[in-house]
Amino acid sequence: MSAIPNDPVILLSFLNTKLRDHYDSLSALCDDLEQDETMLTQKIAAIGYTYDSDRNQFI
């Protein structure tokens, strides 16, 4: 499993950067980094962001 940031705000930045630069979907990112998509979306939701698949980013 790849190391990802634990802090939700830093995680948000990390995920949006990865989505912008390397992945065409959150599912692809999670598969590649061996992360649980539900856990990540819940962690980001706790700071008020949700994943927008049309924009491929958390907004």
Task: Give the model confidence (pLDDT) of 19-38 as tens digits.
Answer: 999 999 999 999 999 999 99
pLDDT tier for residue 3 given thresholds of 50, 70 and 90:
confident
- In which band, very low, low, confident or very high, does the pLDDT at 1 lie, cut at 50, 70 and 90? very low
Number of H helices, E strands in the chain: 3, 2
Say how far apart CA 21 and CA 38 lie, in whole Å. Answer: 22
- pTM here is 0.93
What is the pLDDT, as a whole number, of residue 2?
57
Considering the chain, what is the average pLDDT of its residues?
96
